[in-house]
């Protein structure tokens, strides 16, 4: 909700002051918690935070009196009242109602929590307003990912984020990019080389990168009761690829609820698995954190794990196939598909209840909500790819390997690798030990990736379906591309071909660049390994044959750029460069040419 102010100059000054104040607050927390011994006295840091609190409160008073409608201001900032009440109770009652020996700690904790919430709210609302600013939306999306990567990389370089010496700049940026772009390629062992603080930072980057910082900001804004303006709703419609502007709020609320329910359910089901592993160190990774980490990583299709062998040591646990597999699949379908399926299920239940308990509805012929074309294509192509990948891996591992080597995989293992190769990056077998033909199949699956609107990379399942149906329409001499008795617009066909072609160009350019920068490693790894690494980075999958930790600095920089391209999509980057180009209003005379 946009509040109208009497004096815009005063509002601009307040905005600038609060922005600087937020930066100082973040810096104070970094100094306080990021170093083993803060180089600034703790008392001084607490004093700075108290001063920033006073500035925030003064800004609220100025905005209240500067607002044209005091009622609108109070309604838009209703959450400030309980926050201030809790802060006052903690500050005034710390020496009376709480322990007298911990009075200062209670006050410092209350001030710190308030400041964190205050800064988080401002960042979230700012992201939504920035997306609706009317400027190039793709540049805004790219900038949000770059800022998140740089911020995450800086936090991972803090001494308390790593177990040994602090990370180098390139390793920190690589890890932050891999987490933000939900890839899963690692140059450092997540479970051994990072402290609990570092692992929490990585987990936050995965969640923000999976949902998108703009979507996360919209979720947070709606939870605080912030109503969207028309421009903000249009911006969120573009971000979510939603079809109806009036349902943006419902869509965002569904994303939040679905993410919370799915990840919480996954964590609860994964909890019993960890204590069955011999040598488990409960003090290193508590079971609940381990469950939450892997659940979020699987649903966001990130592929990050807290163990150096991914999930190989758990390949006999049922949770790997019955919990992590569904989490990966659900995360790769896209929220648009999940929203459509949830609406259909809710509509069917509602109709059944009405007809059962309300006689007047029995004779009504209300049209049920139908499955959208997007949902049909995503579900059918995803199922076909999973089955194809499983059968291909089973056959190739059994018959394409060395005769003296037992490479037989069971069906659940092949199924898991088929599922994870398109989106996530977990593995229950040693990828480097698989046959070259199996690696090529995995590269094909990584190139295709997940579905539009999800956190998965690749050209996407719908793009593949459109290209295949275009070929079939040409062979059948049909004028339109048809799918499930629906025609696909020509502009969609052109976009699908463009996406696939751009991905091929980026993939071959990456393979060529790595073949040059990683030439000294040619004796340790084959060209197929470098091709596999390139496909994994571009598809934001995270599977590796062991090349990632040995990459040169130039190779790491290449993979960083490719992971970002894979997460955003080459078409998004191209749209950012051609945003201001105006379409032409004329056509040249046509002339026949021969192709094929």
Query: What b/e readout covers 335-348, taking b as 16+ CB neighbours within 10 angstroms?
Result: bbbbbbeebbeeee
Contact by Cβ (8 Å): 337, 218: no
Sequence spans of domains, the chain: 1-131
Helix (H, G, I), strand (E, B) or coil at 67: strand
| pLDDT of amino acid 102 | 62
| pLDDT of amino acid 287 | 83
Per-residue tokens: 411:
């069906």
| pLDDT of amino acid 279 | 44
Strand partners of residue 162: 194
Query: Is residue 375 classed exposed, middle or buried when 0-12, 13-18 and 19+ CB atoms within 10 A define those classes?
Result: buried
Query: Is residue 259 classed exposed, middle or buried when 0-12, 13-18 and 19+ CB atoms within 10 A define those classes?
Result: buried
| pLDDT of amino acid 278 | 46
Contact by Cβ (8 Å): 96, 38: no
- Residue 360: φ, ψ to 5°: -70, -15
| pLDDT of amino acid 446 | 93
| pLDDT of amino acid 345 | 86
Contact by Cβ (8 Å): 100, 38: no
Strand partners of residue 67: 5
The C-alpha angle with vertex 121 and arms to 117 and 125, in degrees rounded to 5, equals: 175
Alpha helix positions (H), 212-334 = 213-223, 230-240, 248-270, 287-299, 318-319, 325-333
- Residue 65: φ, ψ to 5°: -75, -20
| pLDDT of amino acid 404 | 44
What DSSP assignment string belongs to 123-153?
Answer: HHHHHHHHHTSSS-HHHHHHHHHHHHHHHHH
In angstroms, what CA-CA distances link 99 with 42, 105, 107? 21, 10, 11
Low-confidence residues of the chain, pLDDT below 50?
277-282, 403-406
Residues 258 and 244: their CA atoms lie apart, in Å, by: 19
Left, alpha or beta for 285 (phi > 0: left; psi -120 to 50: alpha)? beta
Of 373, 429, 356, 425, nearest in space to 396 by CA: 429
Contact by Cβ (8 Å): 175, 187: yes
Chain-centre distance of CA 293, in angstroms? 14
Residues 18 and 3: their CA atoms lie apart, in Å, by: 17
| pLDDT of amino acid 218 | 65
Residues 350 and 220: their CA atoms lie apart, in Å, by: 29
């Amino acid at each position: 909700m946009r509040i109208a102010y009497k004096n815009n100059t005063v509002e601009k000054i307040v905005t600038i002051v609060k922005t600087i104040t937020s930066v100082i607050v973040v810096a104070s927390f970094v100094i306080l918690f990021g170093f083993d011994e803060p180089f600034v006295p703790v008392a001084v840091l607490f004093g700075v935070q108290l001063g920033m609190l006073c500035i925030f409160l003064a800004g609220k008073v100025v905005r209240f009196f500067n607002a044209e409608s005091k009622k609108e201001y109070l309604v838009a900032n209703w959450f400030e009242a309980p926050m201030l009440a809790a802060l006052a109770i903690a500050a005034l009652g710390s020496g009376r109602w709480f322990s007298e020996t911990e009075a200062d700690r209670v006050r410092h904790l209350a001030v710190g929590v308030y400041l964190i919430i205050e800064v988080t709210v401002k960042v979230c609302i700012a992201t939504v307003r920035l997306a609706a600013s009317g400027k190039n939306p793709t540049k805004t999306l790219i900038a949000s990912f770059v800022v998140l990567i740089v911020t995450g990389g800086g936090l991972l370089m803090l001494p308390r984020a790593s177990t040994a010496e602090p990370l180098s700049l390139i390793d920190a940026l690589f890890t932050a990019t891999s987490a933000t772009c939900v890839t899963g390629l690692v140059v450092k062992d997540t479970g051994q080389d990072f402290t609990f603080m570092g692992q929490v930072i990585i987990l936050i980057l995965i969640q923000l990168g999976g949902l998108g910082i703009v979507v996360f900001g919209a979720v947070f804004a709606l939870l605080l009761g912030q109503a969207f303006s028309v421009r903000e709703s249009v911006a969120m419609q573009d971000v979510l690829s939603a079809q109806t502007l009036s349902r943006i709020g419902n869509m965002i609320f569904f994303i939040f609820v679905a993410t919370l329910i799915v990840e919480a359910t996954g964590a609860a089901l994964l909890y019993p698995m960890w204590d069955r592993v011999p040598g488990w160190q409960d003090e290193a990774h508590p079971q609940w954190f381990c469950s939450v980490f892997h659940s979020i990583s699987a649903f966001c299709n990130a592929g990050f794990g807290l163990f150096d062998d991914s999930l190989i040591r758990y390949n006999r646990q049922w949770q790997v196939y019955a919990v992590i597999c569904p989490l990966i699949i659900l995360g790769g379908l896209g929220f648009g598909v999940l929203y459509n399926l949830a609406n259909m299920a809710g509509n069917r239940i509602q109709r059944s209840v009405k007809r059962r308990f309300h006689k007047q509805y029995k004779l009504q012929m209300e049209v049920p909500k139908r499955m959208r074309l997007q949902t049909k294509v995503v579900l059918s192509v995803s199922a076909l790819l999973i089955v194809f990948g499983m059968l291909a891996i089973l056959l190739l591992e059994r018959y394409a390997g060395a005769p003296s080597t037992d490479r037989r995989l069971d069906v659940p293992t092949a199924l898991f690798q088929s599922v994870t190769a398109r989106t996530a990056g977990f593995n229950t077998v040693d990828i480097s030990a698989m046959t070259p033909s199996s690696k090529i199949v995995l590269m094909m699956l990584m190139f295709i990736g997940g579905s539009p609107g999800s956190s998965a990379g690749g050209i996407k399942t719908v793009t593949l379906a459109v290209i295949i149906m275009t070929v079939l329409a040409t062979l059948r001499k049909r004028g339109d591309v048809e799918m499930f008795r629906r025609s696909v617009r020509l502009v969609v066909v052109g976009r699908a071909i463009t996406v696939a072609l751009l991905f091929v160009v980026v993939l071959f350019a990456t393979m060529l660049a790595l073949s040059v920068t990683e030439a000294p490693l040619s004796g340790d790894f084959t060209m197929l390994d470098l091709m596999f690494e390139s496909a994994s980075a571009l598809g934001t999958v995270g599977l590796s044959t062991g090349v990632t930790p040995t990459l040169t600095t130039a190779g790491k920089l290449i993979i960083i750029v490719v992971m970002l391209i894979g997460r955003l999509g080459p078409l998004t980057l191209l749209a950012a460069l051609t945003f201001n180009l105006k379409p032409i209003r004329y056509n040249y005379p046509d002339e026949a040419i021969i192709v094929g």
